Amino acid sequence: MVAPLPAGARGTETLVKQLRRLNEKASRYFPIALMVIVLLAFLDVIRTSSSATATAQLRDGLTVGAIYALVAVGYTMVYGIIELINFAHGDVFTLSAFYSILFERLLHWVGLDLDRLALSGAPGFVGAFLILIALSMPAAGITGMLIERVAYRRLRDAPRLAPLITAIGVSFLIEGFMFSSFGGANVNTGRSPWVHGTAFTIGGVSIDWINLFVIAAALGMMFALQAFITRSKLGKAMRATAQDRDAALLNGININRTIAATFFIGSALAAVGGIIYSIRQGVIDWQLGLNFGIIAFTSAVLGGIGNIVGAGAGGFLIGVIAALGGQLLGQEWANSIIFAMLVVVLTFRPTGLLGMRVPDRA
């Protein structure tokens, strides 16, 4: 016969059950609550400023969020397979922008002026952009593969602290290389005139061609990646490795090649983001990846680690949240709002909006 619990113990057990049910409800309704908060923030900007200001903030948030999304996809791919927070990924994003500058100078030296080509019209711009993409994506992908082979491969079965510290060290190493090679000042890319002009106007707010280009390029790359992951043989190998690495190995999947390909693809997408950023902003600097990398990781957590569509959606959502929150509280609070969002997500819905629980291989 089991002795009844004391009154104090029964009260504690009841409280624990209530807190558990409350946490389950908070996790279940978190996406709805988040959407409501964003909507209320948008309406509050309209109330305190104007509808034009709110629309402009939404436009800017979606534009910068598209770049966050491209970087976040690389984070979620790597973490979904080997459960590693690759802090160097943001610096690969910056390094890719520098790669594109070097390739542009090399092409100019051999007689192909990408500036002139891009300014010759829409077909010329598309051609110049595709040339940069074709050269910079493989360079960034190879960089990602080298990082995985040299720094991470031997640490796959090590305690989690070892690869985490290594990732931070690789990040500092890349930043030091960029600082010593390109200097500490902003580097002018000269690409800001490549895309100019207003596409249309909504409520007195101009939607420029650069906004449409950034968002369309990001969505196109993410949908293409999703199709690749879903339908290709390598994509199926990636998903199998993410679900159960040992089972994938027993079924004949080359784990090393699959993980290396994941780093290649994630870094190549970061290169697209770096090129788009260099066109939109016109300047880059060596420490750009630190801020972008952390924000992109927050986007991946918000959307759902292991879910490419979720990471992309998280990037757009983080961009909108930062834009609206910065308008309401001041731009100096924008990053604080983003990191507060990270804490909230990890507390109430650690799997993110569209994420899935990955197996614990620790």
Return d(Cα 83, Cα 73) in angstroms, integer.
14
Name the fold adopted by 34-348: ABC transporter involved in vitamin B12 uptake, BtuC (1.10.3470)
Please report which confidence band the pLDDT of residue 358 belongs to, taking 50, 70 and 90 as the band edges: very low
Do 189 and 283 meet the contact criterion of CB atoms below 8 Å apart?
A: yes
Q: What is the pLDDT of residues 133-166, one digit of tens each?
A: 999 999 999 999 999 999 888 888 788 788 888 9
What DSSP state is assigned to residue 153? G
Q: What is the pLDDT of residue 265?
A: 92
Find the DSSP H helices in 192-287. 209-231, 233-243, 245-250, 255-281
Q: What is the pLDDT of residue 80?
A: 79
Count of beta carbons in the 10 Å neighbourhood of residue 230: 11
Q: Which of 79, 77, 85, 82 is nearest to 256 (CA)?
A: 82
Coarse DSSP helix, strand, coil percentages of the chain, rounded to the nearest 5 percent? 80, 5, 20
Q: What is the pLDDT of residues 105-141, one digit of tens each?
A: 999 999 888 999 998 888 899 999 999 999 999 999 9
Q: What is the pLDDT of residues 213-251, one digit of tens each?
A: 999 999 998 888 888 888 888 888 888 888 888 888 888
Sequential DSSP letters for 54-114: HHHHHHHHHHHHHHHHHHHHHHHHHHHHH----TTHHHHHHHHHHHHHHHHHHHHHTT--H
Whole-number percent of the chain with pLDDT over 70: 91
Q: What is the pLDDT of residue 274?
A: 92
What DSSP state is assigned to residue 50? -
Q: What is the pLDDT of residue 249?
A: 84
Q: Averaged over 198-207, what is the pLDDT?
A: 85
For 70, list phi and psi in degrees, rounded to 5: -60, -40
Domain extents for the chain? 34-348
Q: What angle do CA 137, 138, 144 make, to 5 degrees?
A: 90
Do 45 and 53 meet the contact criterion of CB atoms below 8 Å apart?
A: yes
